[in-house]
Amino acid sequence: MGALTAAFYGTIALAPLYLVPLQIAATNRGHHTMRISSVFAALLITVWQIVLLSRAGAMSAGTLALGLSAPAAMILALVLMALPRFERIPFAIRALAGGALASLVCLPSFIAAAGDEGVKNIFMAAFSSASSAVGAEVPDTEALWSAIKTGVASSFGAIVFIFLFASAWIGSRLGSFRRTIADGDIPTLKTYHLPVPLLWFLLGAWAALLVNRFYPSFVLSAVALNATTALSICYGVQGLAIANALAERAGLAPVARLIMPLVLILLVASGIAGFIAIGVLALLGTLETWIPFRTATSKGDTP
């Protein structure tokens, strides 16, 4: 599984799934096997990154730190999320904490990379080549580099959270087909519930975005955007769980099981319409804090 993790990371098409084999290892064989697989994967990825950077003539302190810190930090966060001592902590909380931890571990590398001319030249060369290939005008490099840094700061933490959340969930589902240890602590869609206090963090993140409109701050904006995105995804999944429960109640359980994964993929890939739909799901998930959609009955019984 460690070799498979490194192989996935070395590709483009399968890179988003590179953490899944590690979670499968934990689900099938326990946390000890996951740790061994993780160390092996980290070593292979390190060697692979060094070879790639050397062959591309882009080896520098900034590029090396950037290339190694992100995968290592996410592997570490996934391993910590799966620790048996944390199994009583709600899954979403562990995923959020893992995303925050991995982001903080990577932060010094990103700060170093932002001031590294080698990293800047790699990005500028890539964008110049892409612009020339499509016949577009090459943008102002300084403005483009500033936009890249702002975009990364505003979304990196949320992206890391999505990797951890999705990888742990998918890996636990795939690994459960040949489970040899006790039932895992990662919920199914049917049992997915968020703790009520998490709502205050969601409201606080949105409030921070509002404050940033009147008192602009780069740090506040980056933290608030990452937190808002990650928390909204948590509640969007809860909204999806509610939709699935309502479909089952209406007698559409087999259909719901078939189309729910497809709907989720289409929402993520459909641009603005997808963001709107995810926002509606997040609102639905948030409302379950007060309205027990999944336990209420059509006969008006007390939930």
pLDDT per position as a tens digit, 221-232: 999 999 999 999
Both ends of the chain: CA-CA distance in Å?
44
Whether the per-residue pLDDT at 72 is higher than 90: the answer is: yes
Alpha helix segments (H runs only) across 115-252: 117-133, 141-175, 198-214, 218-249
Whole-angstrom Cα distance, residue 99 to residue 227? 10
Whether the per-residue pLDDT at 260 is higher than 70: the answer is: no
pLDDT band at 133 (very low <50, low <70, confident <90, very high): low
Give the closest residue to 240 by CA, choosing from 303, 171, 165: 165
Give the model's pLDDT for residue 53.
79
Q: Which helix (H) or strand (E) holds 29?
A: helix 20-29
What residues have CB less than 8 Å from 93, skipping those under 6 apart? 195, 198
- Beta carbons of 42 and 190 less than 8 angstroms apart: no
Q: Which token pair is 301?
A: 């019984």
Give the model's pLDDT for residue 267.
59
pLDDT in tens, 19-58: 999 999 998 888 999 999 999 999 999 999 888 878 867 6
3-class SS of residue 221: helix
Whole-angstrom Cα distance, residue 175 to residue 212? 43
Whole-angstrom Cα distance, residue 35 to residue 81? 12
Whether the per-residue pLDDT at 63 is higher than 80: the answer is: no
Angle between helices 141-175 and 218-249 (to 10 degrees): 30
The predicted model gives 81-98 an average pLDDT of 92
Q: Which helix (H) or strand (E) holds 45?
A: helix 31-55
Give the model's pLDDT for residue 75.
96
Identify residue 64 by its one-letter amino acid code: L
Backbone dihedral angles phi then psi of residue 93, each to the nearest 5 degrees: -65, -45
- Beta carbons of 100 and 157 less than 8 angstroms apart: yes
The predicted model gives 289-303 an average pLDDT of 62
Cα-based angle 80, 4, 88 (whole degrees, multiple of 5): 25
Q: 2 vs 28, 43, 47, 171, 240, CA distance in Å?
A: 14, 9, 14, 14, 32
Mean pLDDT value across the chain? 81
Whether the per-residue pLDDT at 299 is higher than 80: the answer is: no
Nearest 10 degrees: CA dihedral of 151, 152, 154, 158? 130
3-class SS of residue 78: helix
Residues in the chain: 303
Q: 158 vs 166, 261, 279, CA distance in Å?
A: 12, 21, 15
The predicted model gives 237-250 an average pLDDT of 82
Other C-beta atoms closer than 10 Å to the C-beta of 39 total 13
Give the model's pLDDT for residue 243.
82
Least confident of 15-29, 45-59, 80-94, 194-208: 45-59
